[in-house]
Amino acid sequence: MTPEQRRRNRIAGTILFVVVVAIFAWVVFRGSGFLGGVAGLTGR
């Protein structure tokens, strides 16, 4: 593995990790209401 590959791997890995954390946080704080509320499914 070249140093350049290592650098690109680290950047890509970090971006993906941030995406995972962001999705988790969004679902807990906003998304649960959104998913349930879409099309008025839960009566909320």
Partner 1 sequence: MSSVTVDHVSPGHHGHGHDDHHHATPTGWRRWLFATNHKDIGTMYLIFSFVMLLEGGMLALLLRTELFEPGLQFFRPELFNQFTTMHGLIMVFGAIMPAFVGFANWMIPLQVGASDMAFARMNNFSFWLLPVGGILLTSSFFVPGGATAAGWTLYAPLSLQMGPGMDMAIFAMHILGASSIMGAINIIVTILNMRAPGMTLMKMPLFCWTWLITAFLLIAVLPVLAAAITMLLTDRHFGTGFFNAAVGGDPVLYQHVFWFFGHPEVYIMILPAFGIVSAIVPAFARKKLFGYASMVYATASIAILSFIVWAHHMFTTGMPVTAQLYFMYATMLISIPTGVKVFNWIATMWKGSMTFETPMLFAVGFIFVFTIGGFTGLILSVAPIDIQVHDTYYVVAHFHYVLVAGSLFALFAGTYYWLPKWTGYMYSEKLGKWHFWSSLISFNVTFFPMHFMGLAGMPRRYADYAAQFTTFHQVATIGAFWFGLSQLIFLVAILRCYAGKGERAPAKPWEGAEGLEWTVPSPAPFHTFETPPEVK
30 binds partner 1 per the rule CB under 8 A: no
Strands (E), the chain: none
24 binds partner 1 per the rule CB under 8 A: yes
18 binds partner 1 per the rule CB under 8 A: no
Cβ partners under 8 Å of residue 35, min gap 6: 27
Distance in angstroms (rounded) separating the CA atoms of residues 15 and 29: 21
In this structure, the chain runs to a length of 44
13 binds partner 1 per the rule CB under 8 A: yes
Which residues in this chain contact partner 1 in the complex, by CB under 8 A? 1-2, 5, 8-9, 12-13, 16-17, 19-21, 23-24, 27-28, 31-33, 35-36, 39-44
